[in-house]
Structure 1
Amino acid sequence: MPGKAQSMLREVLPRLVLSPSLFLILVFVYGFILFTGYLSFTDSRMLPSFDLVGFANYSNLWGQRNWITALQNLAIFGILYIAICSLLGLVLAILLDQKIRGEGILRPIYLYPMALSFIVTGTAWKWFLDPGLGLENTMHLWGWESFTFNWIKDRNMAIYTVVIAAVWQSSGFVMAMFLAGLRGIDGEILKAAQMDGASNWSLYTRIIIPQLRPVFLSAFVVLAHLAIKAYDLVVALTNGGPGRATELPATFMYSYTFTRNQMAVGASSAVIMLAMIASIIVPYLYSELRERR
C-alpha cells in the first residue's frame, strides 16, 4: 500500500506543481490572444467595447497608409535581416570550424550581442549612427571632413540602419546554430570524399551545406519570428522615424492601440501579425513532427 501511494504521488505531484503555471499560461497568453481576436471585431477605441462590427476594422486597417508602409518596411527588413544573418552566421561558423587558434575567445565575442536586450542594442547603435555624435562626427574630428553617414536621418535609408543593428545582434546566435550543425556532420563522409579527390569547394557545396538544411530552416523560423514582432529595437533606434520611414507592424499596433485610441484597429493588426507568425511556425512544427514519426 505505501508503495502504491508513493507511485500515485509521483504521478500527481508533477501535475500539481505545473498546474498553476499552465493555468496562468492559458489565461494570460491564449486567453488574451482570443480576447484580442474578439476585440478586432468590435468598435473598441480607448476602452474595450463589445459591440460587434464584423470585418470593418480589417477593412479600415488595409486602408491605412501607415499599415501599408509598415508591411513594406517589414518586407525590406525581414528579407535583408534573414539573408544577411544566415550568410554571415554560416561564414563565421565555417571559419571557426577550421579549429583556429582563439576559438574559445572568438565564440563568446560573437555570441555576446545576443546577451543584450534590443533596447540596449538600439540605444547603442543610435549613438553610433547619429551624425552629431557617432561615426560621422568621429571621422570629422579625425580630419575626414567629407565623410558622411546620415542614414539614420534619411527617410530612404533609415530602415537599413535597423537591419544593421539587428544583424549585429543576431548573427552570432545564427553562427552558433550553424557551428553546432557543422560539428554534427559525420567526419567519415568528409574523409571519403577527400580520398576521392573532392576539393574544399565541392565538400561544402555538395556535402556539408546540403546537410545543414535543418539548421537553415531553424534559423529562418527564429529570425522570421524576431523580424515580425520587432518593436523594442525600432523604438530605441529610430522610434519609427524619420516620419514613418521605419514603421513596422509591431510599432503600428502599439501606436494605434495606446496613442491613437483605436484599440480595435490595433487588435486587427495584432491578429494579422499572429497569422504571419503562425504561417511560419505551424508548417515548421508539422514537418518536424512528421519526420519524428
Structure 2
Amino acid sequence: MSGETAPVASSPIAGKRAPTSSLYDLIENWLPKIVIAPTFVACLVFVYGYILWTAILSMTPSRMLPTYSFVGFEQYTSLFDNDRWWLALKNLVIFGLLFVIICLVVGLLLAILLDQRIRLEGFIRSIYLYPMALSFIVTGTAWKWVLNPGLGIEKVVRDIGFSDFTFDWLVNPDRAIYTVVIAGVWQSSGFVMALFLAGLRGIDDSIIKAARVDGASMPRIYWRIILPSLRPVFFSCFMILAHIAIKSFDLVVALTGGGPGFSSDVPATFMYTHAFTRNQIGLGAASAMMMLMIIVTVVVPMIWSETRRTSNG
C-alpha cells in the first residue's frame, strides 16, 4: 500500500562492535601496563633484588669478593661485638634526635615569622631555601672550612682580638658529631620552613578570626588551633628528616670523614668502610641490613599510627 515504509534489510554486522573499537579498547587497557612495566621490573630488580642479595651476603663469610657458604648470623654477632658499630649507633641517635628536633623548631619558627606578611618575604624565603639547592657534599665542604680552627670562626674571632676564644669542635672527638648537626640543620631547616609555611597558608583565616573574637590570645590560638592543624605537616617533615638522618653518609664524609679517628662514624660510613675499604663485605652487608631494620622500626609504626588515625578520623 502507498504510504507504507518498506522494511530495511538487517546488516550481517549489525549489533556487533567494529574491529577498530575492540583494538582501541585493547590498547587502552594494556598501554599503561606496558609503559609502567620497565619501571616496575627495574624497581623489583635493583631495589628489592639487591636488598635480598645483601641479606644473603650478610649470612656468608664474604670478604673481598662474595662467597656463598652459609654461616648463619655469625656476621651479626661480629657486628654487635664491634665497639665501632656501637659508637656509630650512638652517633646516629645523637645526630638524628638533634637534627630532627632542631630542624622542626627552626623551620616552624621561620614559617610563623614569614606568615606575618613581613616585608621582603620572598627575598627572605629564598635565602632560607637556598641551602636546600646544594648537595650535602658541598654543604659539608663549606662547613669544614667555616669550622676549621685555622681558617674559620675561631681564626676570625681571634683576629678581632679575642685571643683566648676556641671553637675546635671539628677536631675534638667529643664534639665532632655536633658539627654534623650544625651543617645538617643549616641545609634542611629552610625546606622544613617551606612545608610549614604552606601548611600555615592553608589554614582557614575565619577560624583564627572567630577565636580572636572569643578573646583567645595569639599564643593560645597557635597552641590550640594552628599547631594541631599542622599535624600532617609535622608527620611529613619528621619522615623526611628521619630518612635524611639515617642515610647521612655524604655529609659526614665531606665534613669530618668519620673522624677524628672514627669518633663521628655513623652506620652508613661504618658500612662503606668495612664493605669497600676493609674487604669485609659480609660484615658491611650485615650493617646495611641493620640500617634497613632501623628505618623499618622508625618509619613503619609511624605510618601505621598516622594511617589508623586518619581512617578513624
TM-score bucket of the superposed structures, by smaller chain: over 0.9
Aligned to 2:3: none
Aligned partner of residue 162 in structure 2, secondary structure: coil
Show CA shifts across 1:91-145 (max 9, x none): 0010011111111111121111111100000000001111111121222333332
Of 64, 72, 83, which aligns to 1:46? 64
State the alpha-carbon separation in 1 of the partners of residues 165 and 256 from structure 2. Answer: 22
Counterpart in 1 of 2:10? none
Pair member with larger Rg: 2
Count of residues paired in the alignment: 293
Of the structure 1 ranges 142-151 and 125-134, higher mean CA displacement relative to structure 2 is found in: 142-151
**1:25 matched residue in structure 2:** 43
Aligned to 1:125: 143
Q: Does 1:136 align with 2:134?
A: no
Could you tell me how far apart the structure 1 residues matched to 2:22 and 2:136 are? 51
Q: Which of the numbers 136, 151, 164 marks the counterpart of 1:146?
A: 164
Farther-moved stretch of structure 1 (147-156 vs 275-284)? 275-284
How far apart, CA to CA, are the structure 1 residues paired with 2:68 and 2:189?
Answer: 44
Shift of 1:71: 0.6
Distance 1:97 1:159 in 2: 33
Report the identity percentage.
Answer: 57
Map of 1:1-40 to 2, 5 A cutoff?
Answer: 1-40=19-58
| Unaligned runs of at least 5 residues, structure 1 | none
Alpha-carbon distance in structure 2 between the residues aligned to 1:220 and 1:5:
48
Provide the rounded CA distance (Å) in 2 between the counterparts of 1:170 and 1:4. Answer: 53
- Choose from 142, 164, 170 the match for 2:182: 164
Distance 1:168 1:10 in 2: 49
Quick one: distance in 2 between partners of 1:285 and 1:224? 13
CA distance in 2, matches of 1:72, 1:150: 21
Aligned twin of 1:228? 246
Residues 226-265 of structure 1: pairs in structure 2 closer than 5 A? 226-265=244-283
1:22 CA displacement: 1.5
In the TM superposition, what is the alpha-carbon distance from 1:181 to its structure 2 partner?
A: 1.3
Shift of 1:182: 1.0
**Separation in 2 of the partners of 1:201 and 1:286?**
31
Q: What's 2:286 paired with?
A: 268
Aligned residue number for residue 94 of structure 2: 76
What displacement does 1:287 show?
4.2
Calculate the aligned-residue CA RMSD, in Å: 1.4
TM-score, structure 2 normalization = 0.90
Deviation at 1:292, TM superposition (A): 5.4
2:217 match: 199
